[in-house]
Amino acid sequence: MKILIKNVDIVTMNEQNQFYERSNIVIEDNIITHIGDIGDINKNKVDYEIDGSNKLAMPGLINCHTHLGMSLFRNYADDMILSEWLTKKIWPAEAKLIAEDIYWASLLSMSEMIASGTTTFCDMYFFMDQVIKALDISGMRASLARGIVEEDSNSIYKIEENEKLFNEYNDSLNGRIKIMFGPHAPYTCSPEFLLKIMDSASKLNASLHIHLSETRNEVEESFRKYNKSPIKHMYDLGLFDLHTVAAHCVHIDEEDIKLIKEKNVHPVNNPSSNFKLASGFSPVNRMLKEGIKVALGTDGAASNNNLNMFKEISMASIVNKAVDNDPMSVTALEALNMATINGAYALGLEKEIGSLEIGKKADIIILDMDKPHLCPRNNVYSTLAYSAYGSDVDTVIVDGNILMERKEFKTIDIEKVKYMVKVNSMDLLNNR
Ligand SMILES: CSC[C@H]1O[C@@H](n2cnc3c(O)ncnc32)[C@H](O)[C@@H]1O
Ligand SMILES: [Zn+2]
């Protein structure tokens, strides 16, 4: 299959930040094989053409911290702090989840992400076989971890489930799935239990996905219990010797930042979730200035309450300027990097996705630029970070397959998905 995207503006997000005006992209099977003039392309051999007039192509966005199943709980538990939100509302509701809930909620979350330009996500939740079933249908790319909370001495089965998931699915669906291990947090997993997870993950050469230093309370508790910060606690345990995606990293000090840098930990900033739960502000600019490749995420739809990465890009850039009292803090380009190439680094996929380059996987989004709020386009990065909405995304391609074209879903029956989520959510929250 050979696809030609014709006459399109291209933001590559490559190292040189190359930008092409009214140019072309050729995709052969799942790979980008040409960017630029089409003089030497044999147009007869093109199977499918996409007209890129008044449109802009850029790398698909990478949402590095999600809990897809939580879209069942969208607008269900709001205006609370994290500890109460989790213990009083979310965990009791999650205890009643069944496999079918996760299947439909995951498809709904994938629809929302596709519609707003995300092509890859990094998920930690339950019933991950259902997420994989939904991923197979949607055509997206993902790194998935079975979320592991240590409840009692029987909790070891959760690590075994994560191992099974790895053995069955890592690298499956044409390489669109990677399996990670998902210890929830240092406050829900003891050091001994974390060591067991690390042992399993390192035997399989798998990465970790964990929540770290999200609230002031978490850090204070860590000092009370271990006499060190959550970051230092993980460092001393050796957790960072494995490739680690660390969601949040809000309440971190200079010492923590040094350790994150030394161990090449991948922090994920989740601005909307952190602000809505009043968790605080992560020192994103400080980390970026240290050369740490901070990635970006939405967290779940129960705390965000959307899965729209354009909202997070704008939020990350604008809020950090206000907090740092510095308009240069987290520039438009830096925020876009967080949502693309830094995300690819966080998932160990920097050679495959995160920028539009010849030889990389064809994960491409195309925005309709013919809109009043995108005119005039004096600076393309400012336009994308400060003016664009997720709803400007017109066409989405993952692994060379078209998942949405001219706003029409190609792989998901969205009406059925919305109906099934409403039915399941109502049953879960009212009857079970
Ligand atoms: C064990 S699966 C994931 C687990 O994480 C919970 N969760 C969702 N958002 C957050 C957050 O911001 N901090 C900590 N934990 C969170 C979710 O409800 C699942 O139980
Ligand atoms: Zn989370």
**ipTM (interface pTM):** 0.99
Q: What is the pTM of this model?
A: 0.98
Closest listed residue to residue 131, CA positions, set 89, 165, 96:
165
Q: Is residue 13 part of a domain?
A: yes
Q: Is residue 175 part of a domain?
A: yes
Question: To test ligand 1's pocket by mutation, which of 64, 76, 90 has the most ligand atoms within 8 angstroms of CB?
Answer: 90
Q: Is the pLDDT of residue 257 over 80?
A: yes
Ligand number with the minimum distance to the CA of 66: 2
Q: Given this model, what pLDDT does residue 18 score?
A: 98
Q: Given this model, what pLDDT does residue 53 score?
A: 97
Q: Given this model, what pLDDT does residue 42 score?
A: 67
β-bridge mates for residue 122, sequence order? 143
The model's pLDDT over 2-49, given as tens digits with 9 standing for 90+, comes to: 999 999 999 999 999 999 999 999 999 999 999 999 876 666 689 999
Q: Are residues 332 and 402 in the same domain?
A: no
Q: Are residues 109 and 23 in the same domain?
A: no
Q: Is residue 425 part of a domain?
A: no
146 is in an annotated binding site: yes
Q: Are residues 178 and 99 in the same domain?
A: yes
Q: Are residues 166 and 204 in the same domain?
A: yes
Q: Are residues 141 and 205 in the same domain?
A: yes
In the chain, the number of structural domains is 2
Q: Is residue 316 part of a domain?
A: yes
Of 347, 368, 395, the position where a domain reaches its end is 347
Q: Are residues 229 and 173 in the same domain?
A: yes
Q: Which domain holds residue 240?
A: 61-347
Q: Using an 8 Å Cβ cutoff, are 320 and 35 in contact?
A: no
Ligand number with the minimum distance to the CA of 301: 1
Q: Is residue 428 part of a domain?
A: no
Summarize the confidence of residues 117-122 as an average pLDDT.
98
Average pLDDT along the chain: 97
CATH value at residue 365: 2.30.40.10
Of 327, 347, 367, the position where a domain reaches its end is 347
Determine whether 285 is exposed, middle or buried from the number of CB atoms within 10 Å of its CB (0-12, 13-18, 19+). buried
Q: Helix, strand, or coil here: 115? A: helix
Q: Is residue 324 part of a domain?
A: yes
Spatial separation of the C-alpha atoms in residues 335 and 315, rounded to whole Å: 9
Residues with CB under 6 A from ligand 1: 67, 82, 86, 90, 94, 124-126, 147, 149, 184, 211, 214, 273, 299-300, 303
Name the token pair of 179.
């399996």
Q: Name which residue sits closest to atom 14 of ligand 1, judged by CA.
A: 211
Of 294, 327, 347, the position where a domain reaches its end is 347
Q: Is residue 432 part of a domain?
A: no
β-bridge mates for residue 10, sequence order? 20, 57
Q: Are residues 207 and 150 in the same domain?
A: yes
Q: Are residues 95 and 215 in the same domain?
A: yes
Q: Given this model, what pLDDT does residue 365 score?
A: 99
Summarize the confidence of residues 316-339 as an average pLDDT.
98
The model's pLDDT over 137-175, given as tens digits with 9 standing for 90+, comes to: 999 999 999 999 999 999 999 999 999 999 999 999 999
For the chain, percent of residues with pLDDT exceeding 90: 98
Q: Are residues 314 and 166 in the same domain?
A: yes
Q: Is residue 427 part of a domain?
A: no
CA of residue 212 to ligand 2 center, whole Å:
10
Q: Are residues 167 and 284 in the same domain?
A: yes
Q: Given this model, what pLDDT does residue 41 score?
A: 66
Q: Are residues 239 and 112 in the same domain?
A: yes
Non-local CB neighbours of 351 within 8 Å, separated by 6+ positions: 360
Spatial separation of the C-alpha atoms in residues 294 and 274, rounded to whole Å: 15
Q: Given this model, what pLDDT does residue 38 score?
A: 84
410 φ, ψ (degrees, to nearest 5) = -100, -20
Provide the residue type at 403 as one letter: L
* CA dihedral for 42, 46, 50, 56, sign (positive or negative): negative
Q: Given this model, what pLDDT does residue 43 score?
A: 67
Spatial separation of the C-alpha atoms in residues 186 and 233, rounded to whole Å: 8
The model's pLDDT over 162-219, given as tens digits with 9 standing for 90+, comes to: 999 999 999 999 999 999 999 999 999 999 999 999 999 999 999 999 999 999 999 9
Q: Is the pLDDT of residue 402 over 80?
A: yes
94 is in an annotated binding site: yes
Q: Are residues 306 and 396 in the same domain?
A: no
CA of residue 47 to ligand 2 center, whole Å:
41
Summarize the confidence of residues 72-87 as an average pLDDT.
94
CATH value at residue 261: 3.20.20.140
Ligand number with the minimum distance to the CA of 149: 1
CA of residue 184 to ligand 1 center, whole Å:
7
CA of residue 124 to ligand 1 center, whole Å:
8
Q: Given this model, what pLDDT does residue 39 score?
A: 77
Which pairs with CB-CB distance under 8 Å and at least 24 residues apart come from 281-284? Answer: 281/250, 281/319, 281/320, 281/323, 282/248, 282/249, 282/250, 282/252, 283/252, 283/257, 284/316, 284/320, 284/329, 284/330, 284/338
